Amino acid sequence: MHATPEGSWPEGFAERLARALGPEEAARALAAQAAPARVAFRASGLRATPEAALAAVRTDGLEPEPVAGLEGVWTVPAADRGRLTHGRAAAEGLIYVQNPSSVAAVEALDPRPGEAVLDLCAAPGGKTLLLAERVGERGEVSAVEAVRARFHRMRANLARHGAAGRVRCFLADGTRVWRRVEGRFDRVLVDAPCSAEARIRPGDAATSRHWSPRKVAEMARKQRRLLEAGLRSLRPGGVLVYCTCTYAPEENEAVLSWLLARHPGLEVEAVRVPAPRTRPGLAAWEDNTFPEAVTRAVRILPDGLWEGFFLCRLRRP
């Protein structure tokens, strides 16, 4: 373990972050990550209008504040988390507790009514639910999850929020499903399994138990395979969003760089993320220089509300 003013982090983690972001930015990120974060939620669109959801949260005794730049997302202070998650609005499925960074990933994918969307790493289904709301009744969402317990949790979650009949759920390895659906989807979300560095909290061993440089390398390998599968499932001209909740450049930029080298003509499109603290994808890491297109990816830096995140939007030629 490595001690900083915010507490103890896993050995090697804080040093790597300082090398990736620079010492000042890394220290700010660690301080934000260590502090209790505000809790964000949105109206669960198949169950409630934003007005009805807000009214229900207010009857639970809470006074939510809107998140600037993200329509339909509000927050309450960290101390009110229990009241929000155990209140009537949550129990009746009128709201969905979701970090703004997760909402931003779906906004970056920008699914339209009537489209076919594939969510390749879907449980517990927070982004799947928002995708279902966006494509509407004429659209189609397929959600793939490889871990059985998480798959069942996702199904229950979708049912509670009125999306059971709107999403086709598959308990399957996302690296393999493309064989049956090659070129079929308008949009694909790869919200990849990752080393989850942005969720590490000092003093909470459960959040860092699985972290190690080896884990980072293992996750990068998984992500490459899932992205290959995601691209194959996409129709020509279709859009894929790749995102993680980790800082490690071996995942994120290095994976994106690898994908670009294998797919000439694959475009990285600019995305606007309304978080207060963002930075472009890294231009280099250790001995590797990345292609310029990689800097069109966005890193969201934690600020006490927005969770640390990496996302990029790709268009298949």
Binding pattern for the stretch 143-182 against ligand SAM, x by CB under 6 A and - elsewhere: -xxxx--x----------------------xxx-------
Say how many CA atoms lie within 13 Å of 139 toward its Cβ. Answer: 24
Q: Is 100 in the site for ligand SAM (CB under 6 A)?
A: no
Q: Is 308 in the site for ligand SAM (CB under 6 A)?
A: no
Within 210-239, the residues that bind ligand SAM by CB under 6 A are 222, 226
Give the residue, chosen from 121, 141, 216, 254, that forms a contact with ligand SAM under the rule CB under 6 A: 121
Write out the two tokens for 219: 């996750």
Closer residue to ligand SAM (CB): 69 or 124: 124
Q: Kindly state the smallest distance separating residue 115's Cβ from ligand SAM, in Å.
A: 18
Pick the catalytic residue: 194, 243, 245, 312?
A: 245
- Amino acid sitting at position 287: D
Task: Report H helices in the chain.
Answer: 13-21, 23-34, 50-59, 81-85, 88-91, 100-109, 126-135, 148-160, 178-181, 213-233, 252-262
Q: Using DSSP, state whether 270 is helix, strand or coil.
A: coil
Strand-pair category, 185-191 with 167-171: unpaired
Give the residue, chosen from 116, 123, 239, 241, that forms a contact with ligand SAM under the rule CB under 6 A: 123
Closer residue to ligand SAM (CB): 62 or 271: 271
Give the residue, chosen from 193, 202, 238, 249, that forms a contact with ligand SAM under the rule CB under 6 A: 193
Q: Using DSSP, state whether 300 is helix, strand or coil.
A: strand
Q: Kindly state the smallest distance separating residue 122's Cβ from ligand SAM, in Å.
A: 5
Q: Kindly state the smallest distance separating residue 193's Cβ from ligand SAM, in Å.
A: 4
Size of the site for ligand SAM (CB under 6 A): 20
- Strand-pairing partners, residue 243, are 191, 311
Closer residue to ligand SAM (CB): 227 or 294: 227
Of the candidate spans 118-126, 258-266, 280-288, 297-305, the one that interacts with ligand SAM by CB under 6 A turns out to be 118-126
Closer residue to ligand SAM (CB): 143 or 271: 143
Q: How far is CA 207 from the centre of its chain?
A: 17
The whole-angstrom separation of Cα 41 and Cα 72 is 9
Q: What is the DSSP string of 123-137?
A: TT-HHHHHHHHHHTT
Contacts with 218 (C-beta within 8 Å, 6 or more apart), sequence order? none
Three-class secondary structure assignment of 12-31: CHHHHHHHHHCHHHHHHHHH
Of the candidate spans 22-30, 46-54, 138-146, 231-239, the one that interacts with ligand SAM by CB under 6 A turns out to be 138-146
Is 194 annotated in the active site? Answer: no
**Interface contacts to ligand SAM, rule CB under 6 A:** 102, 121-127, 144-147, 150, 173-175, 191, 193, 222, 226
Show which residues are catalytic.
Answer: 245
